[in-house]
Every structure is written in structure tokens, then in C-alpha cells.
Structure 1
Amino acid sequence: MKFILLSSVAVCSFTFGQYIPSRIVPAKDGLHAEFIRFEKERPVFQGSPVLFDEVSQKLSLANGRKMASEKDQLGYETHRFQQLINNIPVEYGMMAVQTLDGKIAGESGSWIIKVPKNLDKSAKISESIALQNALAFVGAESYKWQNKEEESFLKKESDNPQATFAPKGEIVYYSDPADENINNLKLAYKFDIYAEKPVSRQYVFVDARDGKVLGVDAIIHEANSPGTAVTAYSGTRSITADSYNGSYRLRETGRNGGTAVQTFNLQKGTNYSSAVDFTDADNSWNNVNSNKDQYATDAHWGAEMTVDYLYTKFGRKSIDNNHFAIKSYVHYSTNYFNAFWDGSRMTYGDGSSSTNGGKPLTALDVCGHEIAHGMTSKTANLAYQRESGALNEGFSDIFGNSIERWARPQQASWKLGEDFSYVIRDMANPNAYGQPDTYLGTYWKATTTSGCASPTQSNDYCGVHTNSGVLNFWYYLLVTGGSGTNDKSFAYNVTGIGLDKAAAIAYRTLTTYLSSSSTYQNARTYSLQAAADLYGAGSNEVTQVANAWNAVGVGGGTSAAGKTAVTDALLYTISPNPATDKFTVSFEGKAGSGSSGIGEPDR
């Protein structure tokens, strides 16, 4: 494969020398390798991603805007960059750079090398026209910025007198995240549109040339029917509240060294500005009443347990690793069977009398699920449609379930929704609730159709709540083990590695390696690397991660039941020969269900 470094790449005036990646996973034509790893000789981190040109065998600096960085418990730092072309950000163009002791250990993500010709550099239509088209596309009855009380609330909440819900157009280069070859990269306006009635929040991308809506990316990530937590659901639990004006309220300011956890009462309204505190006279919260206020302590305890789990297991200080305040709003609207993370806060409906007997959706695994969406937005930022959206939902299920098993193991199950009398998913048996347990298998929802990101959500963004079953079942098998034959007639046998190890691998995969447009294949590649980072390249943990992916049809064979499957490696080692200027390529991990290498299947 030949990479041509075009004008989008800021090639530095010096070279890094002959730093050759030890492992590479090539990308589609036109993109940089989606994964590279330096094992022995590592280039010094210069504050930007590096690009490897296989022709010149040299590295160069890429032109990117730094988004965030964080350090993990292994001493690695992950720096995330957004690609710039013509000094304009590329939506979904993200590279995660993993460094150790100031040197680059590896990179993962999606980065355009072959820039399409004749890209626009400036908009042909005005921002106001583009916004009109975006609003017509969303078609809401009312919007947050039209509500003066909500505008005042936002200014107060953010401590910024200039804050507003009113959308401001940002110029970006946009391509549908499913366009693997970036054939249709276009200059676009990006608007953050928060609708109040009916509620929705999404980025809307409008072609800056002709005003056509190109796509959307949902910011509100719904539970699609939630599940589990405190007083009402989890018995008597210890919570932390603060003393205020002679009573107590559901607010905590300094959990785990500085994270605020706050829970508010929307009083069956939809305006956050109208929310009030839940209060109690003696800090013994037994608020069982006709308003169902006892469910507020479920939300509060669930948020506390989520924050505690991330800190205890991974040393993470809230969702952004910097004490992001976790705010929960209970009693949203009436007869509302849902819960969602809107990019800034948690919101819980009180359930539906016809669906689940009107039980509020403040269950523990729902709390964990929704807050995990916030962590995803601060790390991998997985686009909410098709496979990346299914991964987004699946990782939220993974952490929602893991938090429940950690905080109240005596009540834990692999089902979601059992606490409020409406099971919606079963990670141990996805098929039971219309989800696939095999990639492209039974119940898989096609992701090739157009309109995957419709504001009506009628197609579930091409199956984000359906196709997540594959990741859920992978995780279940990784934790508990299991054997059987999948929908591709592949006989599998997985030995479970337990909850803590499986969760650590999932967490590292999400927060260190995945990026906006990642697919199931990427998740396999990166989880194998995450397992190797944590437990060693030849470890049983790496073997079982591969076995679990084979079991759910991401890689692995399609052999008849009972036959030995063969998994060909995609990760390969490059050994340069300075004398001949040629490379020797050797593949790893050719074994099947017992593979111990960090192997990947052919595409």
C-alpha cells in the first residue's frame, strides 16, 4: 500500500529517522493506517500525530487540533487530535496517540491522506440560510433558545453570561461516518440544535455549497427503555447529601476529590430552569409519596456508584477524568418512558402506565448506562449511527451492567429493565429480545440504508440499540465463558476471565484506542491491543478476547460446527533490511480458537 502525503499534512522540516512501526493495521485506500504500534524504537512525541509513509519509510507530523489528553494507570497518556484540512476541522477525523515517557507507543483512528480534489475552502451560502434548512429538517415545535427561562438557566449553570442554546454554525469538512473511503467529503455548517418539543438534541450538518442536509449526529443518547438502583429498587443505601438552609438536599460537592453529584426535581415539567431541589429534614431519605420521590434517591445513589466505580477501578475522576459534575433531573414530563444523557446532564422520565405501570427509570444500570455515554463523548466520541453507534450503546450497556454487579452483586443479572418491570435487553441472550448475538447474523439491522441519522429516530439510527447485542454478548462471554455454535456455523469455546479483567479491557479499548467512526472490526483490533497492554501479548486474556470475538462473528471462521476454525492475522510485523532497502513482513496469531497472538482476520 502506498501513502501519498498531500497538502493536508503539515510535513515538518526534519525527519524522525528510520522509526518503523512494529505492527500496522492498514486502512481503506485514501486513509492512513488505522492502527500502528512502535515497540522497540519509539519516536519522540512532538505534540502532534505522526504519519508513516511506507514508500519513503519516514514519519512526518500531521496537522491536527488537540482535543484532550489523559493519563492511565499504566503510565500511558492518550492524546486525541482532530484532523485539519485547510485549517478546517474534519468531522470524525480523529487520531488517538498513545505515548509513554514522552515517546509515541502507538496510534489509532481515522485520518485522511488522499484529500479529494477541489474541496471548497469557504461557504457558498450564508449561515442563516443553512440554519433555516437545519431547523426545517428537525421540524420541532419549539427550541431551547426560545425559552427565556432555559436561557437564563444555562447562563447560571455554566457560570457564563454569554452562554446560549442558540445554534452557532461551525465550518467543518463532513463525510458520512460510514463512507470508508471518504469519497464525499464536503464543506458544511455544523449546528448544535436542542429542540424542546419534542425533545431532541443533535448536530446537524448542512452543505455549505447548496444547503442540503448531509447528516446528523445525535447528542441525546437514549436508554431505549432503562433499568436498576436505590430506595425503590435497591433497598436502603448510603448516600451523601448536603446541609442547606436548615434541611438537606440531594447535592454532593466533592466526591472522590472534587466531583459534584447533584439530583433535581423537574416536577413533571420539561424546563430545566424550573427544577427544584429534593429536600429532607433529617437526611434520612424515606420520601415515599404519591409523587414517587423515593425514586430520586435511586438516581442520586446510581450517579454516586457510577462515579465511584470509575474512580475505584480505573482511577478516573468522573466522565472527563477532570471532575465533570454529574447532574440528574428526575420526574421529566408525564407518561414518559425513557431516560437520556443530553451531552451535559441526565434526565429520567417517570415511566408509562401502559408500558411498565408507571415506574420511573432511575434504575442503577440505567444510571451507569447513560452516564457512560458521557464518558464516551469525552473519549472515543463514537458517532451515534450504524456500527459506531452500536458500539456506543454496547459500551454503555457494558458499564451499566458492570457498575450494577459491582455496587449490588446480590441483585445483578445480565438483563436490563427487570427492576422497573420491562426487560429490554439480555446481554447473555440477545436473541431473546430481538438483538443479534452474531455480527451480520439473526436480527442484525442493515446499516447500509440511507437516512441512518433521522431526527425522527424511527430507524434507530440504523440499529444502534439492536446491533449493540453483538458487543453485549462478546462481553458476557469474556466475563463468564461459554461454548456453542454461532449464526455463521462457527463452533466456539470461550473461557471466562472474570468481571474485573473484562471491564478493564473494555475500558481501555474505549478510552485509549477507539475513535468516532470505529467499527466492530476496529473494536476487535483495539481490544486485543488493550488486553496485551494490560496482561501481556501472549496472555490467556488476549486469547480469550480473540475467542470471544470469534464467537460473535467478528473475525473467526465460518466453518461447520465441530471443525477447527482458523483466524488469519491482519496485524503484521515489519522488519526493515537496510542493506537491501526491503521489508520482511511476518504475520502473528494464526491459531484458531486457541490463538495466543494479537491476531486479526482478513477483511
Structure 2
Amino acid sequence: MKKKLIAPVFLSSALLIGSIPVSSVFAHSVDSSEVSRVQASKEWNEKASVPLFVKERFEQKFSTSTPTNALNYLKKNQSKTGITNPDKNLKVKSVQKDELGMTHVRFNQAINGVNVEGSEVIVHFNENNELVSVNGRINQTIVEHGVDTTATLSSDAALKVALTSVNATEELTYEPTTELVVYPFDKENHTAFKVNVNFMGDEPGNWFVFVDANTGEVIDKYNGLMHAQENKTQKGVGKGVHGEHRELHITKVKEPKSGTKFALADYSHENLEGIFTYDAKNDGSSGNDTLYVGNSASFKGDYDRAAVDAHYNSEKVYEYFLNEHGRNSLDGDGMAIVSKVHYGENYNNAFWNGSYMTYGDGDGEFFISLSAGLDVAAHEMTHGVISKTANLVYRHQSGALNESFADVFGVLVDDEDWEVGENIMAPAAKAGGVTRLRSLSDPNSVVVSNAQRAAYGSGVYPAHMDEYYNMPTNVDNGGVHVNSSITNHAAYLIGLEIGREKLGQIYYRALTVYLSPNSNFSDARQAIVQSAIDIYGEGSAEEVAVQSGFDAVGIY
């Protein structure tokens, strides 16, 4: 008798999310006082993240597209934007000029110089220095009531609390960071240290922990794991997981005791630090990871295959973002692209940990080596792009958008179909009917990964807001994987009308120009519509296709 296999995974910043107990969610009825509390929380949260989208009918002309002139506009239009005292309450975060000649000035909302977490405003100038629109999100509760930003706790003490709270391993992937912020959470604006801790091990994490800057208590936390001599690059060859012949860029290296070797290190791309593939040696620790090295320029052994595909696919994704969008690596500034293969023991996972991609070998039952999927590589690397641009918070609708944009670019790079993960499924999984992880074309055809998630919806991926999964934060980070399929399906419908290339141009612009950390589905629609207008014109077939695609999935 064949075992019935249900896919246990979701592609993600961590490709897999482990089973999370539902606990007592259904154990009691909700009384009237509980309803009142929830309603009050909802009202407060709406004021804590007020969406903003102002489009000028008649462009406001300025001499230059600078932060100063952006602030001048905001000061004169406070009643229109809802932003009071912008010169006091906004800090310049970045200034970006794009290929259309437009300039985008991005501000953080701040109080007493302390950034308000997730609250950003973006002012957009056209090529003629005319201000055409403003969008983002503002915390109105801070404007109305203020916040005491005094911190009595030290950043070192906050770091110790954070490390303990997430059971961090002794060995960290990189130096932790701490930043004093105002963090809106649970009906209060907290002055807190935002601590980012990253580690590998059996349960790798890219944790963001918010520690009260006065009491030392953990306010909130979430795992953002999105699951010596001059070297000269030369050509090499290899065999991929599925047996494909791969041409590779590799580097000849000399080792003192063993002579000449060949490393999966690619220095061939101008203004790029390099593309590197490491061997994680199946031990679950980053301490023993080494650059993948072979005895010849031919990498065709069975153990080589995962590394060959990771190295090859990394270059393909790099070339896509460079050639299609003019983006030099994940950060746009030539950062090194690093992959690690053979992670863990029979590890059914692949993830972006905030710095590099990591691929497990699979258990042979559900997955084969996860580096075999070009769409998987594109998905994980897109999480890197997202973290360097809109930085969508990895929870609820903003987290679902994070997953969705990663999926969309996954199928744009691997353009054979509109499915995600079809090349990493093991024979046994396929025999049980699990042939891919998600489908942009037909979301309902894929079953969600476990009964806990199914308890909040129909048990299949939703294709419309009528099928939305209302999940608590402790289940799938509030539905980031499941609900991503709604906006995925919108992208598919748009792509059918205008083609993949235009879809990519519009989505890349929305991600890098208009979206901000707490953007929700409605914000995404506005951003993607505006991006279509920017590139192709108001009333264009492209704008109509975008509007229709979102209408079709119930995002209005």
C-alpha cells in the first residue's frame, strides 16, 4: 500500500515552517468583553499604521528633486497627507533615482530622532522635478499622544535578553545588531531595542526581538529566516542534480599541502564581489563550512551535484536581476552572492538567512537536493532583494507579500511554467500526487501542508480573498505562505495578459519604489497599479490588466 504524502513545506525565507501546535485556540467561546478588547485593539492598530497614497492631479514644480523640497511639499500639504510637522517627525532614509528619471525620497517617521518601526513615507518626483505622488504608512497615535523615548536599559543588556529568548547558539552567523526604535504593539507604542540575531544549527534563525528599553521584557519577536593570492576565474563544467550539463565559472587555487585545486568561486562579473558556493558538510554548523573545492575543473561526482546547481542557479538569478532590472546583486551594490549546500542531515529545507542561501539535501522521500530548483534559488535570492528594498515585515499580509514577490520572481526567472518547486520533489512525493509546492495558475489545486493550517480555511491554497485564511501570528506567521497564493494568482492573471517581461518590470518597480515594511494587499495593488502607470502610461493596456488581475482575486 502506497503511503499518502502531503507536502510538508512552504517555500519561504525559510523554505520550511515546522509544525506549530494550535494549542487552545478552539478551547473556549469568546465572551463580550473579549470582543470589545479585540475591537479596541483593531481600532488602535489602524491608527498606528495609517495608509497614505496621495496622487497630485497637477504636478507640484520644484527646482530640484531633493529631501528639502520633499519636506517643503509635506509642510504645505499637511491636511492632504495627514502628516503633521513633517520636518520634525520625518528622517531621510534614502534617495533613489530610477531608470525613468524619477527620484524617490524615502523617510522614516521618527520621534526625538528615534525611528518608528515600519512607518515610512515615500515622496516621488518625475524627471522634470515635479512632485507627482506620496505614499507610505504613518503612526498617527504618536502624532496625537507622543512617546517617551528615554531608555534606561543598555543595548548590551537588551542583546543578552534577546539571545536568551530565542535560544541562540553560541556561534552566531554575524555580529548581532541593536537599534533603539518606537515599536507599536498590543495597543501601546513601546520604546524598545530592536535586536537582530542570526545563527545556524538544528533550528537556524534570523530573529528580530523587541526588548523593552526600560523593563528589559521581550515585547515581541519573530523569525525572519527567509527560511590570499590573486585569483583568476576560468571555465569549468559540472553535472546537476537531475544530470544536466552545467558550464560554470570557477577559480584555480593553490593549497600549501595538496597543490592546485579548483573552487566554486566566480569573480568574472564586473563590480560584483563574487559568486561563491560552500560545502556545509551535513553537520548543521557554520563553523566547519568551507568553499567548495574539487581536484579538477570538472565537478561530476554525486556529492558535487547539489553544489553545481547552487552555483549555476545563483549566476542565473544574478543575471536576471542585472539584465532585466539593472540591479547589481541582491543589494544593488555588488554584494557577494553566497550559497551553502549539504546543510544538515536529510534536511528538507532551503532558506535565505539574511546573508546567504542555504540548501538541504532533502530526505529522498519528499525532497531531493533543494538546490536543484532554479525557482527555489530565485525565490530565496529575491528575499535578499526584498530585505534591501521594501523590507516587508515577515508576518500577516506584509509577510504574505514578501512570500508572494519571492514566488513571482521565482517563476519569472524559471519561466518554464507558473509552478513553484516542481523540480525538487522526490519520486515518492510525486507518486503520492505532490508534484509542486505552490501553483500561481491554479492555487486551489495544491493542498496546504498540514491539518493545523487547514483548520483556518478550506485546506487548499486560496485564490481569492473570499478564501483568505485568518491565522493567528503563531501559525505560519499569520498565514504568510498560505495567503501569498492570492496575490500570486493576481500576478499570474496579469502575466497572461501582458507577458512575463512586463509583469517583471511592473512588480520590480512596485517592490523597490512604492512598497514599505507594513504594506498590505491593498497597498500592493495601489503600488503595482501606479508602477504600471509610471512605465506604460495611464489608461494603458498594462494598467487595465493590473486592475483586472486584482479585481479577479478580490483585492480592491
In structure 2, runs of 5+ residues without a counterpart are 1-44, 228-237, 255-259, 430-435, 449-459
Q: Which of 82, 85, 96 pairs up with 2:108?
A: 82
Q: How do residues 282-431 of structure 1 correspond to structure 2 at under 5 angstroms? A: 282-286=296-300, 288-289=301-302, 292-356=303-367, 358-405=368-415, 409=416, 412-421=417-426, 423-431=436-444
Aligned partner of 1:309: which letter? Y
Post-superposition Cα deviations, 1:58-84, rounded to whole Å, max 9, x if no partner, equal 995464344344432212233333222
Q: CA deviation at 1:322?
A: 0.8
Post-superposition Cα deviations, 1:363-414, rounded to whole Å, max 9, x if no partner, equal 2111100000010011000000000000000000001111011xxx4xx452
- Greater Cα shift, 32-41 or 344-353: 32-41
Q: How do residues 256-275 of structure 1 correspond to structure 2 at under 5 angstroms? A: 256-275=270-289
1:419 partner SS: coil
- Greater Cα shift, 419-428 or 497-506: 419-428
2:149 partner SS: coil
Q: How do residues 188-267 of structure 1 correspond to structure 2 at under 5 angstroms? A: 188-197=192-201, 198-222=203-227, 231-233=240-242, 235-245=244-254, 246-267=260-281
Q: Which residue number in structure 1 is paired with residue 291 of structure 2? A: 277
Looking at structure 2, the residues matched to 404 and 234 of structure 1 have their Cα atoms a distance apart, in angstroms, of: 18
Kept after mapping to 2: 8 A contact 1:190/1:203? yes
- Greater helix share, structure number: 2
Q: Which residue number in structure 1 is paired with residue 489 of structure 2? A: 473
Looking at structure 2, the residues matched to 91 and 316 of structure 1 have their Cα atoms a distance apart, in angstroms, of: 27
Kindly indicate whether residue 158 of structure 2 is the aligned counterpart of residue 139 of structure 1: no
Q: Which of 435, 452, 466 pairs up with 1:441?
A: 466
Q: Which of 43, 48, 66 pairs up with 1:46?
A: 66
Post-superposition Cα deviations, 1:334-367, rounded to whole Å, max 9, x if no partner, equal 12110111111111111124433x4344421111
Q: How do residues 408-557 of structure 1 correspond to structure 2 at under 5 angstroms? A: 409=416, 412-421=417-426, 423-433=436-446, 434=448, 435-442=460-467, 444-447=468-471, 449=472, 452=473, 459-480=475-496, 496-555=497-556
Looking at structure 2, the residues matched to 365 and 272 of structure 1 have their Cα atoms a distance apart, in angstroms, of: 25
Looking at structure 2, the residues matched to 209 and 311 of structure 1 have their Cα atoms a distance apart, in angstroms, of: 45
Looking at structure 1, the residues matched to 499 and 380 of structure 2 have their Cα atoms a distance apart, in angstroms, of: 24
Q: TM-score, normalised by structure 2?
A: 0.77
1:524 partner SS: helix
Kept after mapping to 2: 8 A contact 1:67/1:81? yes
Q: Which residue number in structure 2 is paired with residue 570 of structure 1? A: none
Aligned partner of 1:531: which letter? A
Kept after mapping to 2: 8 A contact 1:233/1:298? no
1:310 partner SS: helix
Q: CA deviation at 1:29?
A: 5.0
Aligned partner of 2:246: which letter? R
Q: How do residues 87-236 of structure 1 correspond to structure 2 at under 5 angstroms? A: 87-101=113-127, 102-115=129-142, 116-117=144-145, 119-127=147-155, 130-140=158-168, 142-145=169-172, 165=175, 167-176=176-185, 183-197=187-201, 198-222=203-227, 231-233=240-242, 235-236=244-245
Kept after mapping to 2: 8 A contact 1:76/1:99? yes
Counterparts in 2 of 1:244 and 1:186: CA distance versus 1, 3 Å: same
Post-superposition Cα deviations, 1:458-494, rounded to whole Å, max 9, x if no partner, equal x1101111110011111111112xxxxxxxxxxxxxx
Kept after mapping to 2: 8 A contact 1:42/1:105? no
Q: How do residues 16-31 of structure 1 correspond to structure 2 at under 5 angstroms? A: none
Kept after mapping to 1: 8 A contact 2:282/2:343? yes
1:36 partner SS: strand
Q: CA deviation at 1:305?
A: 0.6
Looking at structure 1, the residues matched to 214 and 145 of structure 2 have their Cα atoms a distance apart, in angstroms, of: 15
Counterparts in 2 of 1:31 and 1:518: CA distance versus 1, 3 Å: closer
Looking at structure 2, the residues matched to 230 and 547 of structure 1 have their Cα atoms a distance apart, in angstroms, of: 43
Post-superposition Cα deviations, 1:29-63, rounded to whole Å, max 9, x if no partner, equal 57676122345323443325533312799995464
Kept after mapping to 2: 8 A contact 1:230/1:302? no
Looking at structure 2, the residues matched to 96 and 513 of structure 1 have their Cα atoms a distance apart, in angstroms, of: 7
In structure 1, runs of 5+ residues without a counterpart are 1-26, 155-164, 223-228, 481-495, 556-603
Looking at structure 1, the residues matched to 418 and 348 of structure 2 have their Cα atoms a distance apart, in angstroms, of: 22
Counterparts in 2 of 1:257 and 1:119: CA distance versus 1, 3 Å: closer
Q: CA deviation at 1:316?
A: 1.1
Task: Give the structure, 1 or 2, with the largest relative contact order (CA under 8 Å, sep 6 or more).
Answer: 2
Q: Number of residue pairs matched? A: 466
Identity, in percent, stands at 29
Counterparts in 2 of 1:317 and 1:524: CA distance versus 1, 3 Å: same
2:378 partner SS: helix
Kept after mapping to 1: 8 A contact 2:191/2:213? yes
RMSD: 2.8
Aligned partner of 1:120: which letter? D
Q: CA deviation at 1:320?
A: 1.6
Looking at structure 2, the residues matched to 232 and 436 of structure 1 have their Cα atoms a distance apart, in angstroms, of: 29
Kept after mapping to 1: 8 A contact 2:49/2:119? no
Kept after mapping to 2: 8 A contact 1:474/1:552? yes
Looking at structure 2, the residues matched to 390 and 114 of structure 1 have their Cα atoms a distance apart, in angstroms, of: 26
Looking at structure 1, the residues matched to 376 and 183 of structure 2 have their Cα atoms a distance apart, in angstroms, of: 32
